[in-house]
C-alpha cells in the first residue's frame, strides 16, 4: 500500500457548480450509453445497411426529396436500442441498491435524470451526423436533382430522441426490468395500427416516421407532406417525455419544470393538429396543374434540335437526356434524323405519392414523354420511346405499333448503349431476351413479337457500323407502316425469323 | 417465480390480440397475423423472466437438482401459456384468424426460445437474474430476424402464401432446437468447460492483500 | 473543543416503532464509535445525520449547516462522506469509474482535478493497482474499500460509516482501522459497529444506543470502567451473573455482580457495553 508522504490539497466543490456537475455526469453517462452492446450493434447495422444501400440507390440519380425520406428508417433501430439502454441505465441504481448511497450526494435525483436525458440527446446528435452524412452523399452524386427538406431530415434524429426520453421516463415511473421490452412491443403494435392504410391523415402522422410505399418521384412542392409540423410534433413529444421524467424524479418543486411540461404538451398538440390537416388546397391545385397542364410550370431549353421542357428542379438533368437522344438520333436515317423533337417531362401527381396511375401517351407529333426518374432501367425505356417517336411520329402511334418497325425501333434504342443485350432484358417486362414481351415505357408500353426479338438479337450481334449503314440506307422501307418482320429481315440482309410473328 | 412479469406480458398480449375486434371490421388476414405474432412475442418476453431467481446463489447448494427446479418453473408457465394462447386466438375474429396450427407453432417457438435463452444464460453465466438480457436478445431477434432472414426461408410470410406449410416446417425445426437447448442447459454444469477458471471472486473473501 | 456536530431531540418513528427517541449528542473531531444491539436505531441515527432521511422531531447542525433548509442540506452534503450498511455497487463499473461517478455526484466538475482526487483516495484505500478492474471481479474486502474510497472522495469534514468492517477478515479489518484512524485526524468520524475491539482501538468517544435512546456517552475508558470489579471467573456457570459463557480454557467468564471472594478479571470494553445494556436486553447466557 503506497503511503502518501504528503496528501495533496483536497479538492473542494465550488458552490453553484451544479450545472457543470450535470454536464460532467452527462458526459459520463453518454460514454457508457454509446458503448453498450445494443447501441453499438444498432449503429453498426444502421450504418452498414445505409452504406450498402446508398452505394447504388436510385441507380446514381437520386431526387433529394426522396433521399431525405430514406434517412428515416434506420434511426428507428438506433432509437429502440437507445430506449432499452437508457432505461437500463436509469434503473441501474435501483437494481444494485445504490440509491441509498447516491441519494445523499450533492447532485439531486432530478439532476441525475437530466444527465441521462442529455446522454440520450447525444445519441440523437450522433444519429443526426449519420443522417447528414447519408444525405450529403446522395446530394453529392452527380445525378442528384431536387431539394431536400430539413423537416424530413430531422425526423430520424428526433425519433431517437423521442424513444430515448420515453425510455428514461419509463424507468422513473416503473422500476420493473420487463417494462421496457413490453413497451417496445406495444410501440411496434401502435405503429402498425396507426399506419394501416384506412386510417385518416391525423392518426397516420402520430407515429414517429411516416413512410410512403412508393417509387414515384414528384417535384418537392407537390409532395404534400407536413414535414416541418411533424418535426415540431416530435420535438414536443420528446420535450414532454423529458420534462415529465424530470418532474417525476423530484423536479416538481421547480416552477420552470411545471411550466415547461405545459408548454411542451401544447407544442405537441399544435404539431399534431397542424400535421393532420391533410394536403392543402394550394398543393392539390398545383398537383392538378402540374399533371394536366405542365407546360405552364416548366422551363424549356434547346439542345441540338431537341427542346427539353422540364420542371424547374430537373433542368440539371437535361444533359443526360440530350446525350441519350443524340445517341438514338445518330442511328436514325432519312428525315427522322433531323426531325425536331420535344421532350416533355410529365407526372401524375393528382393522387399524391401513392398514386400509380399511368400517363397517357402524347399525341402531338414529335413529343416524347420523360419521367422524373433516371438511371438504370429508365434509360433504355426512354431511348425506346424516343426511337418509337422518330419512327412512328407520335407516342400514341408508337404504342399501337406492332409490325416490323419495332425491329428498327428497338435496335435504335439499344445499339448505342454500353450493354445492349442486358438492356434488352431490362427494358422488357419479363426480363427475357427471347420470345414475345412487353417493352416498358413511361407511357404506353410497346410490344415485341418473338420474331422481332430474334431479329433484334441478331442485329445486336452484328457490328454497329455495318447495321447503321444498312438502316440508314433502307430507312424508308424499314419504317413503312405495316411492314412485316420477314420484309425487314430481307431488307437488312438477315435470315427469315423462325419464331412466331403474332402481335399480343 | 416472477408472476408479475408473466402477468403483465399476458395482459399486453391479450390487449394486442383484442385489437382487431376493437378497430372494427377493417382488419384483414395480414393484420390479424401481425397482431398474433406481437402477442406471442409479448408473452415470450414475459416468460424470459421466468427463470429469474434472486436467491439463486443462496440456494445453490440445495439437494434438489437444477433440472428439477427449472422444470418446475417451466411446468408452471406452460399451462398458463396454453390457456392464455387459447384466449388470444379466440379474441381474434374467426374470419381473419390465420391457420391455427401454423401460428401456434410460431408462438410455441417464441416461448421456447425465451426459456432456452434464460436456461442458457443461467447455465453459462450463473447469473441470478438473466431475464432482462434474454428479453433484449429476443427483441433483437424479433426486429432483425425479418430484416435479415434469407428470403428463401420465408419464415414471415402471410397465410395465403403457398410457402406457408414449408415455412412452418422450418418453424417446427426451430422449436425442437430451442427445446433441446433448454433441456441440455437445465442441468448444472458438471465441470468447468475448458480452462475457464473461476471468473470472478465474488463468492470468495479474496486473498488478503493490499 | 467546539463540537462540529450537534444534535438535539432527534426522534423518528417507523410505523409503530420508535426508531429514535429524543437522541441528543455532540461530536467533535476524532473518531466516535456508535455501539448498540440490532434494532437499536444505529443505522437510523446515521441515516438521519447523513441527511438520507429527515427526523420527525428535533434538529441538528453539522459544521454550522442546518439540514432543515434546502440550501443548508446541500452545503452539508458537500462536506459529507457516507458509507451505508452493506453498500450496493454497479458491478460492471470499474473501481475507478465508480468512485469517479460518486465524485461527479459530489460536484467535482474539473475533470483533471477530479481524476487526481479519485486516484488519491483509491491509493489511500489500498486499491491503487486494481483501479481498472471491474467491481464484480473484486473480492468482498476490496469492494468495501471501494465504498470507503467513495465516501472519502472530496476530503469531507464529516464521515458517517455504518458497519464498515462487517465481513472482513482480521487483516483487512486492521487495514481499515489504519484508514479510519488516519481519516479521523482533523475530521469528525462517526463509526457504527458491532466490533467492540474496533471501538476500543479507534475511538476517543463512544455512544451506546439501545431502543432508540442514548445509554452512554463518554470515553471508552469510562465505559470499560463501568465493568471494573464486575467481571469474574468461575468453574461453573454462575446463575447470579447477568451474562456468562464458557471460555476456550474451560472456565466460565461472568459479568454482573460478583459474589464475595470471586476471582476478578480485567474488564474489557465489551463487558462495560454488556452491563450498560443491562435492563434493555434479556439475559445473555451461553
Q: For residue range A231-252, list pLDDT tens digits in order.
A: 999 999 999 999 999 999 888 7
Tell me the count of A-B CB pairs closer than 8 A: 69
In a domain, B75, yes or no: yes
| Rounded (10°) angle between helices A150-173 and A227-248 | 20
State residue B58's pLDDT score.
67
| pLDDT per residue as tens digits for the range B48-88 | 888 777 766 666 666 666 677 777 887 888 888 888 988 88
Residues of chain B contacting residue A80, judged by C-beta atoms under 8 Å apart: 139, 143
- Kindly tell me if the per-residue pLDDT of A14 is higher than 60: no
> Does residue C94 lie in a domain region?
yes
Q: Which 8-state DSSP code applies to residue A141?
A: S
Average pLDDT over residues A104-110: 87
Chain B: nearest CA to C85, how far in angstroms? 18
Q: Which residues are registered as beta bridge partners of C10?
A: C23
According to the model, what pLDDT value does residue A48 have? Answer: 94
* Number of residues written out for chain A: 504
Q: How confident is the model over A448-459, as pLDDT tens digits?
A: 888 888 888 888
Torsion of Cα atoms, A411 then A413 then A418 then A419, to 10°? -60
My answer on whether C131 and C98 are in the same domain is yes
Confidence band of A433 (pLDDT split at 50, 70, 90): confident
What mean pLDDT is predicted for residues C235-255?
A: 80
| Averaged pLDDT for residues A139-147 | 90
Nearest CB partner across the interface for A196, out of B16, B31, B138: B31
Is there a domain that residue B166 lies in? yes
* Alpha-carbon gap, residue B209 to C213, rounded angstroms: 39
Lowest-pLDDT choice from A138-147, A339-348, A392-401, B194-203: B194-203
The yes-or-no verdict on residue C243 having pLDDT over 90 is no
Q: Which residues, 6 or more positions from A459, have their beta carbon under 8 angstroms from its beta carbon? A: A407, A411, A415, A467, A492, A494
- Give the pLDDT of residue B25: 60
C75 and C162 co-located in one domain: yes
Which chain A residue lies closest to B36 (C-alpha atoms)? Answer: A189
Residue B62's pLDDT is what? Answer: 65
> Do A2 and C123 make contact, defined as CB atoms within 8 angstroms?
yes
**Cβ A7–C106 below 8 Å, yes or no?**
no
Mean residue pLDDT of chain B comes to 77
**Predicted confidence (pLDDT) at residue C280 exceeds the cutoff of 50:** no
Predicted pLDDT of residue A348: 86
| B136 touching A (Cβ < 8 Å) | yes
- Residue C10 is inside which H or E element, if any? strand C5-14
Q: How many CB atoms lie within 10 A of CB A437?
A: 24
Neighbouring residues of B66: CB distance < 8 A, sequence distance ≥ 6 = B122, B186, B187, B188
Q: How far apart are CA A229 and CA B55, in angstroms?
A: 52
Q: What percent of chain A has pLDDT over 70?
A: 96
Of C202, C218, C234, the position where a domain reaches its end is C218
Q: Which residue, among B2, B19, B14, B21, has the nearest Cα to B40 in the 3D structure? A: B14
Q: Which residues of chain B make contact with A181, given a CB cutoff of 8 A?
A: 45, 48, 132, 135-136, 138-139
What are the residue boundaries of the structural domains of chain A, listed by start? 18-278, 296-492
Q: How far is B19 from chain A (nearest CA, A)?
A: 9
Q: Which residue has the higher pLDDT, A477 or B45?
A: B45
End-to-end CA distance of chain C: 42
Separation of alpha carbons C256 and C264, rounded Å:
11
Predicted confidence at residue C1, as pLDDT, reads 64
What distance in Å separates residue C23's CA from the closest CA in chain B? 37
CB contact under 8 A, B208 and C141: yes
Q: Is the pLDDT of residue C51 over 70?
A: yes
Residues 56-75 of chain C with CB under 8 A from chain A are 74-75
Is residue C135 located within the same domain as residue C236? no
C-beta atoms of C139 and B210 within 8 A = no
In a domain, C191, yes or no: yes
> Do C189 and C261 have their domain in common?
no
Instruction: Give the Cα separation of C135 and A92 in Å (integer).
Output: 14
User: C171 contacts in B (CB within 8 Å)?
Assistant: 208
- Residues A189, B16 contacting (CB under 8 angstroms): yes
Helix B29-47 vs helix A179-194: crossing angle, to nearest 10: 170
Q: Which domain holds residue B101?
A: 3-150+157-190
Q: What pTM did the predictor assign? A: 0.86
Q: Quick check: is C84 in a domain?
A: no
Cβ atoms of B9 and B42 closer than 8 Å? yes
CA A486 to CA B110: how far, in whole Å? 64
Q: Give the closest of B42, B129, B140 to A185, CB-based.
A: B42
Using a CB-CB distance cutoff of 8 angstroms, which residues of chain A are in contact with residue C51?
A: 104
H-type alpha helices, A56-198: 64-70, 74-90, 92-95, 99-102, 109-140, 150-173, 179-194
Higher pLDDT, B1 or C193: C193
Inform me whether the pLDDT recorded for A2 exceeds 50. Answer: no
- Highest mean pLDDT range out of A232-246, A283-297, B192-206? A232-246
What was the pLDDT predicted at A261? 93
Length of chain B: 210
Nearest CB to B202; choose among C136, C167, C169: C136
Q: Which residues in chain C have Cβ-Cβ distances shorter than 8 Å to A23?
A: 109
**Percentage of chain A exceeding pLDDT 90:** 33
For the ranges A213-217, B165-169, C63-67, the one whose mean pLDDT is highest = C63-67
Residues in chain C within 8 Å Cβ distance of A96: 88-91
Closest chain A residue to the Cα of B27, Cα to Cα: A196
Rounded to 5°, angle at Cα C166 from C160 and C170:
115
Compute the average pLDDT of residues A181-188: 87
Cα–Cα distance for residue pair C182/A178, rounded to 1 Å: 46
- Sequence-distant (≥ 6) Cβ neighbours of residue A412 within 8 angstroms: A328, A331, A332, A383, A387, A390, A391, A471
* pLDDT confidence of residue C145: 87
> Taking a C-beta distance cutoff of 8 angstroms, is the pair A217, A66 a contact?
yes
Q: Which of A55, A62, A138, A51 is nearest to A375 (CA)?
A: A62
Residue C167 covered by a domain? yes
- Between residues B197 and C209, which one has the greater pLDDT? C209
- pLDDT above 60: residue B204: no
Same domain, C130 and C97: yes
**Which is nearest to B208 in space by CA: A329, C172, C266, C275?**
C172
Whether residue C21 is found in the same domain as residue C121: no
Task: Using the 3D structure, point to which of C148, C171, C192 is the last residue of a domain.
Answer: C148
C118 pLDDT exceeds 90?
A: yes
Q: Does A112 touch chain C (CB under 8 A)?
A: yes
Coil vs helix vs strand at A164: helix
| A92 contacts C90 by C-beta, under 8 angstroms | yes
Of A77, A181, A193, the CB nearest to B136: A181
The pLDDT of residue C139 is above 50? yes
CA distance A502 to B9: 63
Sorting pLDDT into bands at 50, 70 and 90, what band is C159?
very high
pLDDT at C35 over 60: yes
Nearest CA in chain B to A176: B5
> Is the model's pLDDT at C281 over the cut of 60?
no
Structure confidence by residue, pLDDT tens digits, C161-196: 998 887 777 888 888 888 888 888 889 999 998 888
Q: So what's the pLDDT on residue C32?
A: 92
- Residue C31 in this model has a pLDDT that exceeds 70: yes
Q: How far is CA A117 from CA A165, A246, B114, in A?
A: 6, 9, 31
Q: What is the mean pLDDT of chain A?
A: 86
Instruction: Please answer whether residues A387 and A413 qualify as being in contact, where contact means their C-beta atoms are separated by less than 8 angstroms.
Output: yes
Cα A163 to chain centroid, rounded: 23
Q: Is residue C245 part of a domain?
A: yes
Instruction: Please tell me which of the candidates C74, C101, C147 has its beta carbon nearest to residue A106.
Output: C74
Rank A120-129, A247-256, C135-144, C268-277 by mean pLDDT and report only the highest: A120-129
Q: How many domains does chain C have?
A: 3
Contact check, Cβ <8 Å, A188/B132: no
Cα(C74)–Cα(A357) distance, integer angstroms: 69
Residue B155 has pLDDT above 80, yes or no: no
Residue-level pLDDT at B64: 66
Nearest to C190 by CA among C152, C230, C170, C161: C161
Q: Does A7 score more than 50 pLDDT?
A: no
**DSSP three-state, residue C199:** helix
Q: Does B156 touch chain A (CB under 8 A)?
A: no
The answer to whether residues C275 and C172 belong to one domain is no
Å between C143 CA and nearest CA of chain A = 13
Q: Quick one: which H or E segment has residue A46?
A: helix A37-55
- pLDDT, tens digit, for every residue of A63-82? 999 999 999 989 999 999 99
Range of the domain at C268: 224-285
Mean pLDDT, range A370-381, rounded to an integer: 88
Q: A190 to chain B: nearest residue by CA?
A: B16
pLDDT band at C94 (very low <50, low <70, confident <90, very high): very high
Domains contained in chain B, number:
1
Is the confidence at residue A24, as pLDDT, over 80? Answer: yes
Residue A368 host element (H or E): strand A367-370
pLDDT tier for residue A5 given thresholds of 50, 70 and 90: very low
Give the single-character DSSP code of A8.
P
Q: Which ranges in chain B belong to alpha helices (H)?
A: 3-22, 29-47, 66-91, 100-125, 131-148, 164-185
Q: Which phi and psi (to 5°) does residue B145 adopt?
A: -55, -55
CA distance A83 to A89: 10
How far is Cα B31 from Cα B49, in angstroms, rounded to an integer?
28
Amino acid at each position: 500500500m503506497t503511503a502518501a508522504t504528503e496528501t495533496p490539497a483536497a479538492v473542494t466543490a465550488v458552490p453553484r457548480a451544479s450545472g457543470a456537475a450535470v454536464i460532467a455526469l452527462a458526459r459520463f453517462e453518454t460514454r457508457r450509453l454509446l458503448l453498450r452492446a445494443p447501441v453499438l450493434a444498432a449503429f453498426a447495422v444502421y450504418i452498414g445497411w445505409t452504406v450498402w444501400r446508398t452505394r447504388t440507390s436510385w441507380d446514381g440519380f437520386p431526387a433529394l426529396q426522396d433521399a431525405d425520406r430514406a434517412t428515416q428508417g434506420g434511426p428507428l433501430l438506433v432509437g429502440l436500442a437507445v430506449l432499452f439502454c437508457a432505461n437500463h441505465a436509469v434503473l441501474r441504481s435501483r437494481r444494485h441498491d445504490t440509491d441509498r448511497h447516491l441519494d445523499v450526494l450533492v447532485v439531486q435525483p432530478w439532476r441525475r435524470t437530466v444527465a441521462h436525458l442529455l446522454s440520450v440527446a447525444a445519441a440523437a446528435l450522433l444519429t443526426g451526423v449519420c443522417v447528414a452524412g447519408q444525405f450529403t452523399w446522395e446530394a453529392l452524386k452527380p445525378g442528384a436533382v431536387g431539394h431536400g427538406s430539413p423537416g424530413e431530415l430531422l425526423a430520424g434524429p428526433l425519433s431517437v430522441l423521442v424513444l430515448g426520453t420515453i425510455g428514461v421516463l419509463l424507468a422513473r415511473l416503473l422500476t420493473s426490468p420487463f417494462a421496457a421490452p413490453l413497451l417496445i412491443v406495444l410501440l411496434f403494435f401502435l405503429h402498425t395500427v396507426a399506419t394501416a392504410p384506412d386510417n385518416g391523415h391525423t392518426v397516420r402522422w402520430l407515429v414517429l416516421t411516416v413512410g410512403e410505399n412508393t417509387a414515384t418521384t414528384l417535384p418537392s412542392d407537390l409532395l404534400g407532406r407536413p414535414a416541418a409540423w411533424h418535426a415540431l410534433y416530435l420535438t414536443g413529444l420528446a420535450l414532454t417525455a423529458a420534462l415529465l421524467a424530470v418532474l417525476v424524479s423530484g423536479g416538481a418543486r421547480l416552477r420552470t419544470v411545471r411550466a415547461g411540461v405545459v408548454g411542451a404538451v401544447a407544442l405537441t398538440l399544435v404539431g399534431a393538429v397542424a400535421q393532420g390537416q391533410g394536403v392543402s388546397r394550394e398543393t392539390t391545385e398545383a398537383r392538378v396543374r402540374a399533371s394536366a397542364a405542365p407546360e405552364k410550370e416548366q422551363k424549356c431549353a434547346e439542345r441540338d434540335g431537341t427542346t427539353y421542357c422540364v420542371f424547374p428542379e430537373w433542368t440539371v438533368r437535361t444533359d443526360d437526356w440530350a446525350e441519350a437522344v443524340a445517341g438514338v438520333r445518330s442511328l436514325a436515317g432519312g428525315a427522322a434524323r433531323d426531325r425536331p423533337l420535344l421532350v416533355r417531362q410529365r407526372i401524375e401527381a393528382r393522387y399524391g405519392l401513392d398514386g400509380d396511375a399511368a400517363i397517357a401517351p402524347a399525341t402531338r407529333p414529335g413529343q416524347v414523354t420523360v419521367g422524373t426518374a433516371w438511371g438504370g432501367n429508365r434509360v433504355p425505356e426512354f431511348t425506346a420511346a424516343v426511337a418509337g417517336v422518330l419512327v412512328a411520329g407520335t407516342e400514341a402511334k408508337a404504342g399501337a405499333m406492332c409490325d416490323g418497325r419495332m425491329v428498327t425501333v428497338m435496335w435504335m434504342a439499344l445499339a448505342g448503349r454500353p450493354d445492349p443485350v442486358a438492356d434488352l432484358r431490362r427494358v422488357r417486362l419479363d426480363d427475357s431476351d427471347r420470345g414475345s414481351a412487353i417493352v416498358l415505357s413511361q407511357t404506353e408500353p410497346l410490344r415485341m413479337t418473338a420474331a422481332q426479338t430474334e431479329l433484334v438479337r441478331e442485329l445486336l450481334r452484328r457490328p454497329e457500323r455495318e447495321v447503321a449503314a444498312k438502316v440508314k440506307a433502307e430507312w424508308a422501307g424499314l419504317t413503312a407502316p405495316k411492314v412485316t418482320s420477314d420484309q425487314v429481315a430481307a431488307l437488312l440482309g438477315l435470315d427469315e425469323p423462325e419464331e412466331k410473328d403474332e402481335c399480343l | 417465480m416472477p408472476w408479475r412479469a408473466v402477468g403483465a406480458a399476458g395482459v399486453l398480449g391479450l390487449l394486442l390480440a383484442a385489437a382487431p375486434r376493437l378497430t372494427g371490421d377493417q382488419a384483414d388476414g395480414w393484420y390479424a397475423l401481425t397482431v398474433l405474432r406481437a402477442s406471442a412475442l409479448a408473452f415470450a418476453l414475459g416468460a424470459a423472466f421466468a427463470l429469474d431467481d434472486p436467491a439463486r446463489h443462496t440456494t445453490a447448494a440445495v439437494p434438489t437438482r437444477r433440472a428439477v427446479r427449472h422444470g418446475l418453473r417451466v411446468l408452471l408457465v406452460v399451462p398458463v401459456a396454453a390457456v392464455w394462447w387459447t384466449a388470444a386466438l379466440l379474441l381474434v375474429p374467426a374470419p381473419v384468424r390465420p391457420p391455427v396450427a401454423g401460428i401456434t407453432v410460431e408462438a410455441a417457438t417464441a416461448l421456447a426460445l425465451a426459456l432456452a435463452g434464460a436456461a442458457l444464460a443461467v447455465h453459462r453465466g450463473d447469473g441470478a437474474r438473466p431475464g432482462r438480457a434474454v428479453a433484449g436478445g429476443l427483441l433483437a431477434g424479433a426486429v432483425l430476424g425479418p430484416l435479415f432472414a434469407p428470403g428463401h426461408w420465408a419464415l414471415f410470410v402471410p397465410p395465403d402464401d403457398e410457402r406457408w406449410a414449408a415455412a412452418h416446417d422450418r418453424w417446427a425445426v426451430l422449436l425442437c432446437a430451442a427445446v433441446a437447448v433448454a433441456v441440455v442447459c437445465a442441468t448444472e454444469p458438471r465441470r468447468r468447460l475448458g480452462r475457464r477458471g473461476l471468473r470472478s471472486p465474488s463468492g470468495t473473501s479474496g486473498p488478503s492483500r493490499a | 473543543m467546539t463540537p462540529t456536530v450537534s444534535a438535539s431531540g432527534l426522534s423518528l418513528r417507523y410505523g409503530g416503532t420508535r426508531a429514535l427517541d429524543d437522541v441528543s449528542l455532540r461530536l467533535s473531531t476524532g473518531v466516535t464509535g456508535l455501539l448498540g444491539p440490532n434494532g437499536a436505531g444505529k443505522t437510523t441515527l446515521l441515516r438521519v445525520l447523513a441527511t438520507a432521511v429527515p427526523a420527525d422531531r428535533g434538529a441538528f447542525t453539522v459544521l454550522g449547516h442546518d439540514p432543515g433548509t434546502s440550501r443548508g442540506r446541500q452545503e452539508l452534503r458537500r462536506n459529507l462522506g457516507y458509507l451505508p450498511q452493506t453498500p450496493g455497487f454497479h458491478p460492471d463499473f470499474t473501481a475507478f469509474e465508480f468512485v469517479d461517478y460518486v465524485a461527479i455526484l459530489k460536484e467535482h466538475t474539473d475533470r483533471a482535478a477530479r481524476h487526481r482526487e479519485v486516484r488519491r483516495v483509491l491509493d489511500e484505500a489500498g486499491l491503487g493497482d486494481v483501479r481498472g478492474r471491474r467491481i464484480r471481479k473484486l473480492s468482498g474486502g476490496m469492494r468495501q474499500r471501494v465504498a470507503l474510497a467513495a465516501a472519502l472522495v472530496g476530503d469531507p469534514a464529516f464521515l458517517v460509516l455504518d458497519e464498515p468492517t462487517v465481513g472482513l477478515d482480521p487483516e483487512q479489518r486492521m487495514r481499515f482501522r489504519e484508514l479510519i484512524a488516519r481519516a479521523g485526524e482533523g475530521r469528525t468520524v462517526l463509526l457504527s459497529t458491532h466490533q467492540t475491539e474496533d471501538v476500543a482501538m479507534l475511538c476517543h468517544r463512544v455512544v451506546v444506543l439501545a431502543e432508540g435512546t442514548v445509554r452512554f456517552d463518554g470515553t471508552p475508558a469510562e465505559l470499560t470502567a463501568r465493568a471494573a470489579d464486575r467481571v469474574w471467573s468461575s468453574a461453573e456457570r454462575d446463575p447470579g451473573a447477568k451474562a456468562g459463557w464458557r471460555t476456550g480454557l474451560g472456565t466460565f467468564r461472568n459479568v454482573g455482580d460478583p459474589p464475595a471472594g470471586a476471582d476478578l478479571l480485567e474488564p474489557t470494553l465489551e463487558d462495560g457495553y454488556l452491563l450498560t445494556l443491562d435492563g434493555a436486553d434479556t439475559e445473555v447466557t451461553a
